[in-house]
């Protein structure tokens, strides 16, 4: 956890916190839940999901088997983006198993989209290697598929509301809703890009410098902040940046461009971010405690 001045105020794991109940490896995304009192984490290459109490660091539950990928009950294979789901429970894109899994509040599986191991694009029956399944307040999902390079919106009743490719988008990652009804997605590539587009696939805005300090290298998540800036994980540049879409420029960054590190002010392949505001407000996605904090709410 980093405060507005860039100081690290909390780190997990830590010698001062309880030891993880399972080996903690490759945390890919981390999302605040319960008004900032807990954190959902998907450990992508560890094939594990976990919920951690904040600030105590106590493990609340886990699902999966460390570094053992499988589609069998109780197993995952490259889980990506563990989000809280409206009305309770959670949802995750189980990427290499080519399915979207739903969980109860206690961490038990409660539903599935796709056929395990069938990576043929064909929502809602099959899913083409999903690396994002972002829930909206009404239960719809924004799904990004690497196979086929499509972004789709699926209704709570599992009807495809729209599905589109986007010009210039090669590897879509983690689509996010905008307040005007458009969608934001990043292109996990070098040079990478952040693209806002309509449901018909029309590009409305793009950030894609091809050289210099503004160039992105495999960004994995772009999120619209309440102040109008776009926060982006610039994974292989080892930084998180804030982009002003009006000037198309980076106005703030945490991390040293192209330099991986673990010390203060450094990052190493950052692949997830979230925002916690005073009063326990989580503005970037649905929260268990406050389901209407999402920027894409009706």
- Any idea what the CATH number is for the domain that residue 234 is in? 2.120.10.30
Is 81 within a domain? yes
Q: Residues with Cβ < 8 Å from 15, sequence gap 6 or more?
A: none
Peptide bond into 13 cis (omega under 30): yes
Number of structural domains the chain divides into: 1
Q: pLDDT digits over 65-110, tens only? A: 999 999 999 999 999 999 999 988 999 999 999 999 999 988 889 9
Please report whether residue 7 resides in a domain.
no
Would you say residue 45 lies in a domain? Answer: yes
Q: Give CA–CA dist 19/62, Å, rounded.
A: 13
Q: What's the predicted TM-score (pTM) here? A: 0.93
User: What would the pLDDT profile of 173-232 be if each residue is shown by its tens digit?
Assistant: 999 999 999 999 999 999 999 999 999 999 999 999 999 999 999 999 999 999 999 999
- The whole domain housing 218 covers 27-254
Domain assignment of residue 140, yes or no = yes
Domain membership flag for residue 95? yes
pLDDT of residue 294 exceeding 50, the answer is no
194 found inside a domain: yes
Write the DSSP symbol of residue 257.
T
DSSP per-residue codes, 111-164: EEES-TT----BTTTB-SSEEEEEEPTTS-EEEEETTTTEEEEE-TTS-EEEEE
User: Does residue 41 fall inside a structural domain?
Assistant: yes
Residue 46 forms part of a structural domain: yes
Tens-digit pLDDT profile for residues 221-277: 999 999 999 999 999 999 999 999 999 999 999 999 999 999 889 999 999 999 999
């Amino acid at each position: 956890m980093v405060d507005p001045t860039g100081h690290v105020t909390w780190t997990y794991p830590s010698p001062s916190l309880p030891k993880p109940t399972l080996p903690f490896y490759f945390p890919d995304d981390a999302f605040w839940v319960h008004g900032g009192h807990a954190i959902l984490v998907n450990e992508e290459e560890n094939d594990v999901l976990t919920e951690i109490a904040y600030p105590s660091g106590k493990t609340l539950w886990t699902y999966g088997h460390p570094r053992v990928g499988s589609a069998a009950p109780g197993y995952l294979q490259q889980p990506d983006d563990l989000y809280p789901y409206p009305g309770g429970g959670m949802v995750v894109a189980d990427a290499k198993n080519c399915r979207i899994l739903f969980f109860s509040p206690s961490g038990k599986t409660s539903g599935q989209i796709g056929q395990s191991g069938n990576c043929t694009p064909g929502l809602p029956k099959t899913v083409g290697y999903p690396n994002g399944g972002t829930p909206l307040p009404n239960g719809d999902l924004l799904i990004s598929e690497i196979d086929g390079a499509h972004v789709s919106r699926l209704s709570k009743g599992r009807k495809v509301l729209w599905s589109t490719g986007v010009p210039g988008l090669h590897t879509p990652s983690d689509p996010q809703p905008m307040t005007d009804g458009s969608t934001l997605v990043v292109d996990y590539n070098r040079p990478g890009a952040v693209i806002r587009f309509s449901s018909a696939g029309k590009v409305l805005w793009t950030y894609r410098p091809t050289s210099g300090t503004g160039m992105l290298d495999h960004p994995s998540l772009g999120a619209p902040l309440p102040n109008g800036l776009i926060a982006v994980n610039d994974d292989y540049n080892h930084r998180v940046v804030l982009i002003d879409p009006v000037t198309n420029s980076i106005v703030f960054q945490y991390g040293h461009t192209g330099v991986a590190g673990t010390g203060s002010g450094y990052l190493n392949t950052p692949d997830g971010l979230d925002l916690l505001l005073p009063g326990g407000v989580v503005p970037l996605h649905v929260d268990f405690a406050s389901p209407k904090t999402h920027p894409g709410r009706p």
